[in-house]
Structures are given as structure tokens and as C-alpha cells.
């Protein structure tokens, strides 16, 4: 009975936060087990695309897509990409499709392919374009026993190693939101940095102590993360009948994103959001509450068992090699990756990243803005091009 009461309270509080005035009653695309990102979104746009599977050390089967220029679509199917490899890593509640949701002139995945890059698209565990686990079912609690810590040290590490091995080349990296958390954690490991040529981080996050999103702060304040785990809810799937209403309410935040095409919201939500774990949400909320960039906090006794210390170890951003070239884009209207937290990250880094500040940009604008090619992506491509990757087209 206590669990039922808690569930009712959670539902009531969440429904209280909902404002449906900015989003339509949306139909969500159903992704079948046999569907693939290449088949659904990339090949229909005229781009050669192949599917790959990577197994992590803890048994998760990740989907990776390899995309090449549309200029090769009418020729030999075995045409090899001519440019250096670049790995695109999505953010929270997203997957690899996030890089292809606008036109081929507005979507970074298509733009990089047309610029001659060998584009690899990452999908973390639990998302629709990954392929489960070697032994665990998605219906099992243990399948969802992970946070961004494992996404960084297992998923991203394995994807980088796979692309590096397949191409025999150091890779360029682009991450957005959670994809930057993963990168900054992973880059504290020298063996990972050794495989990376340079990295571009969109809405970089290593601290969340100054997050200003009122919706998120309400959820933190009501301890939603702890309630979900106490209720035995380990998978956060926002395509469930109830959760879809929560996603609609989040659309209210579109007012903080200056430049994406609101007429395409229905299309975006055909693909987004993707599942994540309650443990991942709890880890993110720990960052907000504690103001630390640290491993998952299991509590005093749990930490002693897991780490040998009463406090979880931090990811030491000061240890990231000064020799790793970094580019960072951030927005003045981002209620998730706050400028104050971003400056904290900059203070920790030994290197001096190249920076792009866009005062009007919100969190989603960096991947969905109709002007992102001119505002953002051209700068990323020039940054990568200055790192010794000659021979690529840089026209826009």
C-alpha cells in the first residue's frame, strides 16, 4: 500500500507540472525490433549507411552506424569514405537519430558526411538503435543497472576503440549534453585520449550545480529519482502511455530554444525520446545536489564496498591531457548547461579550448537549430580541418 501511495503522489506531482499549450497530442513512431537507423532515416535521405555492433566489457550490444557522402550514392557501393573518422555521441533521452532530424543541409551528420568525413554514429545502451545484452533482457532490473559512469567508461570507451581499430586512425569526436559528460569523464583516461585527434563539445557539462530549469529543479526537489528506484522502476521509457504526457510538458521549454523549426516537433517526437535508466537520472540529480563531477554515490557503506572510500571518487578534469585539442560551444539561454557551471569546467581544464558563445541559443538549438550550420557546424569543421585533416571540402 505504501508503494501505491508513493506512486500516486509522484503521478499527481508530475501531472501538476504539465502545460500542454505548447505541444500537440503527438503520435509516436513505433520502432520494431528489426528496424535500423540506417534503414529508417539515413538511407532514405540518399546516404550510404552500414550497421555495426559493438560489445562492451559488461555485455551490452551497442549499435553504431557508418555514414558516407551522398556523392557516392550513385556509384560503387564499396566506395570508401575519403576523410578522417568522426564519432557523434548523442545526449540524454536521445540516440544517434538526433544528428539527422533536419534536412541534409541542416543536420550535422549529413553535413559532415558531405564534407568528406567518415561519420560514425554512437548509440548508448538502452536506446532503440542498440541491441540489448548478451544475457540480460530489457525487462530485467539488472539490465538497467547503470548510469552515465558506465556510458563513459564502457560504452564510449568501446565505441572509440572500435572506430579507431576499424579505421586505423585517430578519431574526431562530437558530443552533445550527456555526450559531453561521457567525454569529459572518459578523457580522464589517457588510453582513451590516445585514440582521439580532437573533440568538439556542444553544451558541455561536468557540473550541474547552477542548473536553472525550473522543471528539472522541481523533480530534484521532490526526489523523483529516489522515488522511482524505491518503487522498483528501473527503466525510464518516455514512450509509455503516461510518460508521453511528461514529454509533452517538456516541450514548454521550446521557448528557451531560439532557432529550431517548431513545425517539425511532431517529426522529432517520432524518434525521440529514447529510454534511459532511473539510476542514470539519479546520478545526474546527484550532480545537481552535490555540485561534484563524481562517480555514482551508493551511500556510505555502498561506497566503501564499491570504491574503498566513503565518498565516490571524482572525475579529475584537471588530468585531461593538455595536448588534446578541444572546441566548446555554449549558449546564453541554456537552462541545463548553465554558463556558471561551464566556466567551472573551463577553470579545471589545463588546456585552453576554442570557444563559441551564442547568447540566444538554448540546449536543443545546438543540434536542431535551422541555422546551426552557419552558426555552429562551420566552426566545428574548420576546427577539425585545422588539426591536419587536409583534403576535405570546407564550403558551406
Instruction: Tell me if residue 334 is catalytic.
Output: yes
pLDDT tens by residue, 6-34? 444 444 334 333 333 334 344 445 555 55
Q: What's this model's pTM, rounded to 2 decimal places?
A: 0.89
pLDDT tens by residue, 35-67? 899 999 999 999 999 999 999 999 999 999 999
- pLDDT at position 306: 97
**Cell numbers placing 243:** 510518460
3-state secondary structure at position 234? coil
- pLDDT at position 301: 97
Instruction: Tell me if residue 90 is catalytic.
Output: no
Burial class (CB in 10 A: 0-12, 13-18, 19+), 97: buried
Q: Which of 118, 176, 363, 375 is catalytic?
A: 363
How is residue 124 annotated by DSSP? -
**Cell numbers placing 376:** 555552429
Strand order from edge to edge, sheet including 196-202: 49-55, 61-67, 118-122, 85-89, 171-176, 196-202, 326-331, 354-358
Q: Which of 147, 177, 249, 277 is catalytic?
A: 177
3-state secondary structure at position 106? coil
**Cell numbers placing 131:** 541491441
Instruction: Tell me if residue 71 is catalytic.
Output: no
Q: Which of 97, 118, 253, 334 is catalytic?
A: 334
Fold of 32-73+80-386: Rossmann fold (3.40.50)
Phi, psi of 350 (to 5 degrees): -80, -30
Amino acid at each position: 500500500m505504501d508503494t501505491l501511495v508513493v506512486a500516486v503522489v509522484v503521478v499527481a506531482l508530475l501531472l501538476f507540472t504539465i502545460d500542454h499549450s505548447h505541444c500537440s497530442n503527438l503520435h509516436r513512431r513505433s520502432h520494431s525490433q528489426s528496424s535500423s537507423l540506417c534503414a529508417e532515416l539515413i538511407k532514405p535521405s540518399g546516404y550510404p549507411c552500414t550497421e555495426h555492433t559493438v560489445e562492451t566489457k559488461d555485455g551490452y550490444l551497442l549499435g553504431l552506424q557508418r555514414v558516407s557522402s551522398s556523392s557516392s550514392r550513385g556509384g560503387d557501393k564499396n566506395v570508401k569514405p575519403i576523410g578522417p573518422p568522426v564519432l557523434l555521441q548523442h545526449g540524454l533521452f536521445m540516440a544517434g537519430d538526433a544528428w539527422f532530424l533536419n534536412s541534409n543541409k541542416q543536420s550535422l551528420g549529413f553535413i559532415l558526411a558531405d564534407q568528406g568525413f567518415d561519420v560514425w554514429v554512437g548509440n548508448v545502451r538502452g536506446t532503440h538503435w542498440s541491441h540489448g545484452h548478451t544475457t540480460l533482457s530489457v525487462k530485467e532490473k539488472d539490465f538497467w543497472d547503470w548510469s552515465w559512469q558506465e556510458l563513459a567508461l564502457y560504452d564510449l570507451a568501446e565505441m572509440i576503440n572500435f572506430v579507431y581499430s576499424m579505421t586505423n586512425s585517430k578519431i574526431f569526436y562530437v558530443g552533445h549534453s550527456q555526450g559531453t559528460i561521457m567525454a569529459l569523464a572518459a578523457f580522464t583516461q589517457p588510453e582513451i585520449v590516445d585514440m582521439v585527434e580532437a573533440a568538439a563539445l556542444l553544451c558541455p557539462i561536468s557540473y550541474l550545480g547552477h542548473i536553472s530549469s525550473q522543471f528539472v529543479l522541481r523533480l530534484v526537489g521532490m526526489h523523483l529519482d529516489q522515488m522511482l528506484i524505491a518503487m522498483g522502476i528501473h527503466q525510464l521509457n518516455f514512450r509509455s502511455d503516461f510518460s508521453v504526457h511528461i514529454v509533452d510538458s517538456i516541450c514548454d521549454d521550446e521557448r528557451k530554444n531560439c532557432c529550431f523549426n517548431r513545425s517539425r516537433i511532431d517529426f522529432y517526437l517520432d524518434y525521440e525520446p529514447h529510454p534511459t535508466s532511473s539510476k542514470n537520472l539519479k546520478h545526474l540529480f546527484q550532480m545537481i545536489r552535490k555540485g561534484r563531477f563524481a562517480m555514482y554515490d551508493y551511500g556510505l557503506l555502498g561506497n566503501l564496498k564499491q570504491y574503498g572510500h566513503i565518498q565516490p571518487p571524482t572525475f579529475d578534469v584537471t588530468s585531461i591531457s593538455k595536448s588534446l585539442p578541444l572546441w566548446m560551444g555554449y549558449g546564453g539561454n541554456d537552462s541545463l548547461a548553465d554558463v556558471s557551471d561551464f566556466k567551472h569546467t573551463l577553470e579545471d581544464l589545463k588546456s585552453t579550448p576554442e570557444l563559441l558563445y551564442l547568447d540566444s541559443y538554448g540546449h536543443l538549438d545546438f543540434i536542431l537549430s535551422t541555422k546551426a550550420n552557419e552558426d555552429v557546424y562551420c566552426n566545428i569543421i574548420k576546427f577539425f580541418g585545422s588539426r591536419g585533416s587536409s583534403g576535405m571540402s570546407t564550403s558551406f
